[in-house]
Amino acid sequence: MNKSLSRNIFIGLFAGIFIGLFLGEYAEPLGFIGDAFIGLMQMTVMPYIMVSILSNLGKINLSKQKKLIYSATIILVCFMGVGLVFLVVLPMFFPTWQSSSFFSSSLVIPPQAIDFIDIYIPSNLFGAMSNNVVPAVVLFSIIVGIALNSIPDNKRLIHAFDVIADALNKANKYIVKLTPYGLFGIAAHTTATLSLDELGLIQVYMVIYTMAVILIGLLFLPMIVSAITPFKYKDILGIPKSSLITIFATGKIVILLPQLIENIKSLFEKYGHKDEEVDSSAELVMPLAYPFPNLGTLVIMVFIPFAAWFAGQEFSMNDQAVFLASVFMSSFVAPIAGIPFLLDVLHLPHDVFQLFIVSTAYTDRIRVVLGAIHLFTLSVIAIAYAKGLIIISWSKILRAIALTGIATVVALLPFKLLIGDSFQASFDKYNSFVQMELKSNRAPERHSKKLTPRIPESILEIEKSGIMNIGYMSDALPYVFRNNDGEFVGYDVELMHILAKELNVTINWIYVPRDSIVSYVNSGYVDLFLSGIPVLGDVMEHVEYTQPYAEINLALLVKDHDRNRFKTKADILAEPDAVFATNQSSYLRVRIQEELPTVKFNNISSARQFLTDQTKADAMFFSAEAGSAWTLVYPEYSVVRPKDLHIRLPVAMMLARNNTNLERYLNNWIELKSYDGTLQRLYSNWILGEGTKVKEKKWSIIRNVLHWVD
């Protein structure tokens, strides 16, 4: 790229940032400019990769290029080794803190394996091209290119491929001239949509990964190249500078592959080594190396130990070994696919993945910059080796390693020491939880200790009386509890307020002791009872249940230091002397003993007894959904669901025996609330913790400085 284009790129980038800051969310529609630009850049890339590989493999002397491919493979292995070292070292700089999390579906959903066959074997080439499955397209091109190389009369076809490649490359250069406008739209949209509060949630991960990108991409790799080739440090970063800026802004490497290839040729040309072999090698090695893992994608997997740290879960040596064994193959795919897979493998809360999604507006851009530097330096070293230009200076290599190590400690140790307290304060999930409020309008309500028995035969009787008696029990987080303001809140509370508003009645809350629920319901002291209670086989014959409106999954509450103690049923059975607290019914205890015949129970009345160390139990059987809420109150505890323990129960409302008319109405009402999304909204708010997130208007100059808009 020429200097004027580089200048215009900077102008477009900073103009977009300014417009995003000036207009705030009003700049979001400008994202279509960036989307159109990326689409234009992408449309030539897949065909270019395919014809470039076909052409170069078809016309080269494969016996001569073995040296190039061999060197590229060795360099890739060495680079990946560097990445794995950083994945071990970087988590050492996480601050010390204590955390917990809401219920995550990853506790109960079996992990889905990544299908590497679909990624790498193109059963449908056109489908792979349309879906941008680069590895599959590259594999097809390699196989056909090698076959083409063995055909004697292939020059006319190869010439046609060369012409197509030149046309695609020229088209790409035309589109590159639009880069300043595309970056303007991308920068404006990103600045308008990225919240500083959201960035604050993941500041540790983002700072650690940013420093990793700087240390590896801007320090270590260029120093290594300058230590073993004739090229200078400043040229290794200076020549591809404009390409790297564009890659940062677009968040795409693949659309700049043709330009990176031109940068490699320019580097060799500057030092007087450019010839047809260099051109051919650059056009071959870069597309071949692209589908393989790069350091940007590999090191971003530091999010996995961050997820464990963020959730307050220990990342043991065994977890570290599993992580390192799995991370290389996972880095073959985009992080948005690889990270959920690793979260599942290591049994980490899947809801933490949402933080990763938030971070990608920034981290995807520096990830692809490191990936581009990885590809550029790998290709340069491989071509230099094939040309006989490698001159190893061990003193320079040792200096690169030493300077990188020192820079890592100097940059990250103060961060670890200084940010701990402020980070802990900003992540107080307990306060967020106990400050939760109903998002629906409240109906009139009261709390009565005076019990007047009645069993309404229909919903009309309740409407006529103007009162709906709702029974609840204590310690029923997150279904029924009091927030910091003393208000009754929770999943079931909000559900009942919605019902009461529709019926235009007042809710009369009646506390029911745990051991008196059935008698209160059948005596008519409450019209219905709910507190996140499951449908139980030993209770069904005494009362009526509505159809389910939620479900619970049986899990264990354990001390943080015991989270790896009961990961499987085999782990539980291996400790016959272990004692498990439970406040579950006899029916559920029988179900547990069907799968764990040697388990010993310690019956307690409330989870609080276990969580406050009033028992000598090693763990407590409890629902994963409710247990996750309790860990927000007692963050030194965690929820563990043994991966092969599958006990799941429906949650429903309880009514008096034979009260079928009221049951029929409530069944229909629950079905209606399921169809209109109410139940899913309540589940997201109270079980998954979405209710703790307050969406605030984006800061902007026109709102917060000029006050032109509200």
445-468: per-residue pLDDT in tens?
999 877 888 998 889 999 999 999
Is 480 found in the same domain as 561? no
Distances (CA, A) of 591 to 54, 547, 584, 649: 62, 21, 11, 11
**Which amino acid, residue 551?**
E
**Same-domain status, 360 and 296:** yes
Residue 417 Cα distances to 96, 315, 405, 424, angstroms: 9, 20, 18, 12
Q: Is the pTM of this model over 0.75?
A: no
Strands (E), 497-537: 506-511, 528-529
Contact by Cβ (8 Å): 50, 137:
yes
**Percentage of the chain with pLDDT > 90?**
38
Question: Shortest CA distance to 623 belongs to which of 533, 488, 516, 507?
Answer: 533
User: Are 615 and 604 contacting, i.e. CB atoms less than 8 angstroms apart?
Assistant: yes
For residue 234, the tally of other CB atoms under 10 A from its CB is: 10
How do residues 386-400 score in pLDDT, each as one tens digit? Answer: 888 998 899 999 999
> Would residue 108 count as lying in a domain?
no
Q: How is residue 110 annotated by DSSP?
A: P
Q: How many H-runs (helices) and E-runs (strands) does the chain carry?
A: 34, 14
Quote the pLDDT of residue 9: 78
348 sits in the region (left: phi over 0; alpha: psi -120 to 50; else beta) called beta
Q: What is the pLDDT of residues 111-168, one digit of tens each?
A: 555 566 776 777 888 887 777 676 778 788 888 988 998 888 888 898 998 899 889 8
Instruction: Flag whether 437 is in a domain.
Output: no
Alpha-carbon distance of 30 to 16, in angstroms, equals 9
Q: Specify whether 232 is located in the same domain as 316.
A: yes
Letter for the amino acid at 383?
I
Average pLDDT, the chain: 85
Q: What is the CATH number of the domain that holds 53?
A: 1.10.3860.10
Q: Which amino acid is at 435?
A: Q
Q: State which of 306-315, 527-536, 603-612 shows the largest mean pLDDT.
A: 527-536
Query: What's the pLDDT band for 97 if we cut at 50, 70, 90?
Result: low
Asked whether residue 95 is domain-assigned, the answer is: no
Cβ atoms of 342 and 325 within 8 Å: the answer is no
Q: How far apart are CA 505 and CA 493, in angstroms?
A: 14
pLDDT tens digits for 13-23?
889 889 988 99
Does residue 1 register a pLDDT over 60? Answer: no
Q: How many C-alpha atoms does 616 have within 13 Å on its Cβ side?
A: 3
Task: Identify whether residues 367 and 423 lie together within a single domain.
Answer: yes
Structural domain boundaries enclosing 452 = 445-548+652-692
- Give the 3-state secondary structure of residue 369: helix
Q: Residue 405: pLDDT above 90?
A: yes
342 and 449 belong to one structural domain: no
pLDDT at 36 over 60: yes
> Which residue, chain included where needed, has tokens 């219905």?
528
Taking a C-beta distance cutoff of 8 angstroms, is the pair 46, 129 a contact? yes
d(CA 428, CA 208): 21
Q: How many CB atoms lie within 10 A of CB 418?
A: 11
- What is the distance between the alpha carbons of residues 472 and 18, in angstroms, rounded to a whole number? 54
- pLDDT of residue 271 exceeding 70: yes
pLDDT one-digit tens code per residue, 350-384: 667 766 766 776 888 899 999 999 999 999 999 99
pLDDT number for residue 710: 79
Contact residues for 52 (Cβ-Cβ < 8 A; gap 6+): 161, 165, 283, 284, 287
Tokens of 32: 């279509």
3-state secondary structure of 278: helix
Look at residue 439 and tell me if it is in a domain. no
- Do residues 558 and 544 share a domain? no
Flag whether 97 is in a domain. Answer: no
Name the more confident of 661 and 426. 661
- Residues whose CB is less than 8 angstroms from the CB of residue 608 and which lie 6 or more positions away in sequence, other chains included: 475
pLDDT value, residue 702: 92
Which residues are CB-contacts of 8 (< 8 A; sequence separation ≥ 6)? 179, 180
Question: DSSP characters for 41-78?
Answer: HHTTHHHHHHHHHHHHHHHS-HHHHHHHHHHHHHHHHH
- The pLDDT confidence band at residue 331, using thresholds 50, 70 and 90, is confident
Q: What is the DSSP string of 628-687?
A: HHHHHHSTTEEEE--TT---EEEE--EE-TT-HHHHHHHHHHHHHHHHTTHHHHHIIIII
pLDDT over threshold 60, residue 425: no
Higher pLDDT, 173 or 601: 601
User: Is the pLDDT at 314 greater than 80, yes or no?
Assistant: no
pLDDT at residue number 64: 64
Q: Is residue 704 part of a domain?
A: no
Helical axes 62-89 vs 317-330, angle rounded to 10°: 150
Domain end point (choices 382, 401, 427): 427
Q: Please tell me the predicted confidence (pLDDT) of residue 619.
A: 94
Whether residue 453 sits in one domain with residue 420:
no
Residues 64 and 191 in one domain: yes
- pLDDT by residue (tens digit) across 47-65? 877 888 788 778 776 666 7
What does the angle CA 192 – CA 197 – CA 199 come to, to the nearest 5 degrees? 80
187 falls within a domain: yes
Same domain? For 141 and 279 the reply is yes
205: which strand partners? Answer: none
**Is residue 106's pLDDT more than 80?**
no
**What pLDDT shows up at residue 653?**
97
| C-alpha–C-alpha distance, residues 223 and 397, integer Å | 8
Give 621's pLDDT tier (boundaries 50, 70, 90). very high
Do 80 and 134 sit in the same domain of this protein? yes
Find out whether 311 and 348 touch, Cβ atoms under 8 Å.
yes
Same domain, 191 and 322: yes
User: For the chain, what is the domain count?
Assistant: 3
* Least confident interval from 96-105, 430-439, 683-692: 96-105
How does pLDDT run across 548-581, given as a tens digit for each residue? Answer: 999 999 999 998 778 778 888 899 999 989 999 9
pLDDT in tens, 191-238: 787 665 555 557 788 889 999 999 999 999 999 999 999 999 999 999
Does the residue 708 lie in any domain? no
Degrees to nearest 5, angle at CA 243 with 237 and 246: 125
> What CATH number is given to the structural domain containing 464?
3.40.190.10
Domain identity same for 398 and 489? no
Asked if 608 and 535 count as a contact pair (C-beta separation under 8 A), the reply is no
> Phi, psi (5° rounding) for residue 699?
-65, 135
Residue-level pLDDT at 657: 92
DSSP code at position 536: -
- The CA-based angle 278-279-282, given to 5 degrees, is 80
